[in-house]
């Protein structure tokens, strides 16, 4: 059992990178990728905790991509080598995120929702402030009853308090991920809002721009949808991955190692992902990141 899509306190998860590794070990996982939003900050800490445990730790990231569809997120899995160019691009993305967050606060205050940037920042507890942190504040203030309701009623794409931010374009993102030693994977394709032939055309175009795989197995997909996405990937010559999109207590329904329909994520998905076999003694073989890069 493995998991190729998880989040820590470095972005919008509730578990520290170290605690994430501990939960993975307790659950019996053999491999785990940390894929925080727009940051590599948690990778060195998670790798250090995994070292010598026998768990294969896989460095990753999740990046929002400029798109006319619903929401397009790209996973970079198996990062290694020189990540300096990727870090520079992520710094631009983080700056754009900060501007977007300020616009969201202003829009909410104008709309009668008493919220401050300080509240949202304190909720995040780190440098990466996302819409998920806004959602948590809105739940705490009883504006909505749940994080899911916040996204579906207020801050999802096209809704009253949504604000776009500048994102990386797909060719640049795939180039950066490839240059960092990883593979690019379309995260939770259901969020694209496309079906049937429209989805096939979109994914095919992504493949031609450097995307290597599809996250067919995700908790937001039914088992039937996941199987259909596997067939789509196979027909296009693309890899298949699976993840829990674990966020800890912020989305308690998601559990490490489990995906569509509560099914375990099998290690066959590791075949397409750059990784090294771990050792129970000494280094786990994960790609190295300098402290200044993590």
Whether pLDDT at 278 is above 80: no
Q: Classify residue 172: in a domain, yes or no.
A: yes
For 204-222, how does the pLDDT look when each residue is reduced to its tens digit (9 = 90+)?
999 999 999 999 999 999 9
Closest CA relative to residue 211, chosen from 269, 268, 275, 272: 272
Percent above pLDDT 70 for the chain: 94
Query: Which domain CATH number covers 266?
Result: 3.20.20.140
In angstroms, the Cα distances linking 238 to 199, 208, 272, 281 are 14, 11, 9, 35
Residues 141 and 273 in one domain: no
Is residue 184 scored above 60 in pLDDT?
yes
The answer, yes or no, to whether residue 128 has pLDDT greater than 60, is yes
* Residue-range definition of the domain harbouring residue 97: 91-155
Asked if the structure places residue 143 within a domain, the reply is yes
Does residue 222 share a domain with residue 118? Answer: no
Cβ atoms of residues 245 and 253 within 8 Å: no
In a domain, 215, yes or no: yes
* pLDDT value of position 193: 92
Residue 279's pLDDT band (cuts 50, 70, 90): low
Q: Is the distance from CB of 12 to CB of 120 less than 8 angstroms?
A: no
43 and 189, same domain (yes or no): yes
Q: CB-based contacts of 267: which residues, under 8 Å, 6+ apart?
A: 1, 2, 30, 31
- Distance, in Å, from the CA atom of 165 to the CA atom of 248, rounded to the nearest integer, reads 26
224 and 236 belong to one structural domain: yes
pLDDT band at 250 (very low <50, low <70, confident <90, very high): confident
Q: What is the pLDDT of residues 16-27, one digit of tens each?
A: 999 999 999 999
For residues 195 and 284, membership in a common domain is answered with yes
- The mean pLDDT of the chain is 92
Asked, for residue 264, whether it belongs to a domain, the answer is yes
Residue 161 lies in a domain: no
Closest to 1 measured CA to CA, from 230, 287, 247, 242? 242
Q: Which of 100-104, 155-159, 204-208, 243-247 has the lowest mean pLDDT?
A: 155-159
pLDDT at 280 (0 to 100): 61
Please tell me the predicted confidence (pLDDT) of residue 121.
Answer: 92
For residue 289, is pLDDT > 80? no
Total number of domains constituting the chain: 2
Q: Convert the pLDDT of each residue in 44-94 to its tens digit.
A: 999 999 999 999 999 999 999 988 888 899 999 999 889 999 999 999 999
């Amino acid at each position: 059992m493995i998991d190729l899509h998880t989040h820590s306190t470095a972005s919008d998860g509730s578990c520290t990178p170290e605690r994430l590794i501990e939960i993975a070990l307790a659950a019996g996982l053999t491999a785990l990728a940390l894929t925080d939003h727009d940051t590599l900050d948690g990778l060195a800490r998670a790798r250090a905790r995994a070292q010598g445990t026998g768990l294969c730790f896989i460095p990753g990231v999740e990046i929002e991509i400029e798109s006319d569809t619903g929401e397009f997120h790209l996973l970079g899995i198996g990062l290694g080598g020189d990540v300096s160019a990727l870090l520079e691009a992520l710094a631009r993305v983080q700056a754009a995120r900060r501007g977007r967050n300020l616009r969201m606060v202003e829009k909410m205050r104008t709309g009668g929702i008493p919220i401050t940037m300080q509240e949202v920042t304190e909720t995040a507890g780190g440098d990466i402030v996302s819409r998920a942190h806004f959602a948590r504040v809105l739940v705490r203030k009883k504006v909505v009853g749940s994080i899911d309701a916040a996204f579906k009623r207020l801050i999802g794409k096209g809704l009253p308090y949504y604000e776009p931010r500048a994102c990386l374009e797909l060719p640049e993102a795939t180039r950066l991920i490839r240059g960092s030693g990883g593979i690019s994977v379309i995260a939770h394709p259901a969020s694209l809002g496309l079906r049937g032939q429209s989805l096939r055309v979109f994914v095919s175009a992504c493949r031609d721009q450097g995307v290597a795989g599809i996250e067919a197995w995700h908790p937001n997909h039914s088992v039937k949808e996941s199987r259909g996405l596997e067939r789509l990937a196979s027909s296009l010559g693309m890899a298949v991955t699976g993840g829990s999109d674990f966020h800890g207590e912020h989305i308690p329904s998601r559990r490490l190692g489990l995906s569509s329909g509560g099914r375990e994520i099998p290690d066959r998905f590791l075949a397409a992902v750059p990784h090294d076999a771990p050792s129970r003694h000494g280094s786990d073989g994960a790609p190295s990141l300098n402290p200044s890069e993590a």
